[in-house]
A and B are shown apart, each in its own frame.
Chain A
Amino acid sequence: EAGVVQSPRYKIIEKKQPVAFWCNPISGHNTLYWYRQNLGQGPELLIRYENEEAVDDSQLPKDRFSAERLKGVDSTLKIQPAELGDSAVYLCASSTNRDGNSPLHFGNGTRLTVT
């Protein structure tokens, strides 16, 4: 099966600019996650979707971050405006169900550098 696809792979922007990341999960995976991974740390959950519904966005900085999954398949994560501290790898993952007991399949991530 095809894996989780993310684009772009790398992105360099200046602070205060907007940026968007795209994710296509594994076919049939209803649950989609966006994680942020800082250097030397584990992934931290930003938002979790069940189909098109955001069921956990408690750790999403809503003043500048937004996400959508309009048709319950692809998803985009947007930052506007970006800050220096947003530099990190943004990982998308998908799984087959929502009970926290299913393995996560990660994409290659988008490495964001804010200058």
Chain B
Amino acid sequence: GQQVMQIPQYQHVQEGEDFTTYCNSSTTLSNIQWYKQRPGGHPVFLIQLVKSGEVKKQKRLTFQFGEAKKNSSLHITATQTTDVGTYFCAGSRSNDYKLSFGAGTTVTVRA
């Protein structure tokens, strides 16, 4: 089963607004990766976080890794229609190499 849980499952956002999606693990992760899957497409790698408390930005996207390395968040500012899709987090533990994906947060945007 999935090692990581994502909330919310669905996010309906007004264009121009901000939102945050969360990823939680019951175990400490060695790293966490985020992927985006457009409707009908395949997951595409966005970013990887490795260090405790790490924050990385990609334009309007801000990714954070929790201090305990058990949770992560993705914050999108000024949402655009191009942000539509499903965002997956995926984590691996330090004692194995298996990357486990969450169920994803599916984002729809109201123009």
The reply on B42 being an interface residue by CB < 8 A is yes
The reply on B44 being an interface residue by CB < 8 A is yes
Instruction: With CB as the reference atom, state the residue of chain A lying closest to B44.
Output: A106
- The answer for the CA separation of A56 and B48 in the assembled complex, in Å, is 22
The reply on A78 being an interface residue by CB < 8 A is no
Q: For this complex, into which size category does the number of interface residues on chain B fall?
A: 20 to 34
Which A residues are CB-close (under 8 A) to B100? 45
Which A residues are CB-close (under 8 A) to B102? 42
**B36-79 with Cβ < 8 A to chain A:** 41-45, 48, 50
Interface centre among B31, B35, B48, B98 (most CB of A within 10 A): B98
Measured CB to CB, the closest approach of chain B to A99, in angstroms, equals 6
The answer to whether A103 and B2 touch across the interface, beta carbons within 8 angstroms, is no
**B9-52 with Cβ < 8 A to chain A:** 30-31, 33, 35, 41-45, 48, 50
Q: For this complex, into which size category does the number of interface residues on chain A fall?
A: 20 to 34
Measured CB to CB, the closest approach of chain B to A41, in angstroms, equals 5
Which A residues are CB-close (under 8 A) to B97? 48, 55-56, 98-100
Q: Report if A104-B45 is in contact (Cβ < 8 Å); known contacts: A40-B103, A42-B103.
A: yes
Which A residues are CB-close (under 8 A) to B31? 100-101
Which B residues are CB-close (under 8 A) to A106? 42-44
Chain B proximity mask over A40-55: 1 for CB below 8 Å, otherwise 0: 1111110010000001
| Other contacts beyond A42-B90, A43-B88, A48-B97: 18, CB < 8 A | A40-B103, A40-B104, A41-B103, A42-B88, A42-B101, A44-B101, A45-B99, A98-B97, A99-B97, A100-B31, A100-B92, A100-B96, A100-B98, A101-B92, A104-B45, A106-B44, A108-B42, A109-B42
* A-to-B contact residues, CB < 8 Å: 35, 40-45, 48, 55-56, 91, 98-101, 103-109
